[in-house]
Chains A and B, each alone.
Chain A
Amino acid sequence: QKEVEQNSGPLSVPEGAIASLNCTYSDRVSQSFFWYRQYSGKSPELIMSIYSNGDKEDGRFTAQLNKASQYVSLLIRDSQPSDSATYLCVVEGDSSYKLIFGSGTRLLVRP
């Protein structure tokens, strides 16, 4: 079983819709969770971090964390074609250097 699981997609949504990206992780002691966005042929960039159960909002992005269920999600409201990218779920492992990357979910926003 992979340590961080994501559906590879592609997840296709129309422009203006809400895109919901999901991630599960296996290490119960993980405390820090991140979402990175990676455009095709580019490097990842951090878009959200979350450390506590519940929701964290930043503009059109909302990260949700449920540690009991070992589940992290990212909601993108009012999706734009420029949001089309691969979204990587990243979980901090058992030491501060160890960031475990999921393989990513490819999001396609149709104009």
Chain B
Amino acid sequence: EADIYQTPRYLVIGTGKKITLECSQTMGHDKMYWYQQDPGMELHLIHYSYGVNSTEKGDLSSESTVSRIRTEHFPLTLESARPSHTSQYLCASSERGSTNEKLFFGSGTQLSVL
């Protein structure tokens, strides 16, 4: 079973609030990712990291930011949440250098912005 954890599992907040979605993994993986998924739709990459102090934006434009100060921790922050940010956010990790890009996913955070 994958050792990657996301908190909170569900979050309902008001517009304009600052929020941080937590993601931690205990597998020592260098690569970590944040995906956004709406019901019945594709996963879209919003941020990724290849290691400590490495962060990049993904393909989907996002107003969120991430940080990677420690290998195991990859939090995502929204400075001012809006209803358009309502979605499922999935964190994942994988091993660097592996040709088999097996992603281990966390259980996700379902965010609702009112």
A99: chain B residues within 8 A (beta carbon): 45, 101, 103
Report the minimum CB–CB distance from B102 to chain A (whole Å): 5
Q: Say yes or no: A92 contacts B101, CB within 8 Å.
A: yes
Contact between B41 and A44 (Cβ–Cβ < 8 Å)?
Answer: no
Residues of the B chain whose Cβ atoms lie less than 8 Å from the Cβ of A32: 99, 101
Within 8 Å of chain B (Cβ to Cβ): is A60?
no
Bound state CA distance, A99 and B31, in angstroms? Answer: 13
Q: Contact at A43–B105, with CB atoms within 8 Å?
A: yes
Contact with A along B92-106 (1 / 0, CB 8 A): 000000011111011
Tell yes or no: B74 within 8 A of A by CB.
no
Asked if A42 CB lies within 8 Å of chain B CBs, one says yes
Closest chain B residue to A43, Cβ basis = B105
Chain B proximity mask over A74-106: 1 for CB below 8 Å, otherwise 0: 000000000000001000100011110111100
Residues of chain A having any CB pair with chain B under 8 Å: 4, 8, 32, 34, 36, 42-46, 49, 51, 88, 92, 96-99, 101-104
Measured CB to CB, the residues of B under 8 A from A are 31, 33, 35, 40-45, 48, 50, 56, 59, 90, 99-103, 105-108
Q: 9 tightest CB-CB pairs across the interface, nearest first? A: A43-B105, A101-B43, A101-B42, A103-B42, A46-B102, A97-B48, A49-B100, A43-B108, A44-B105
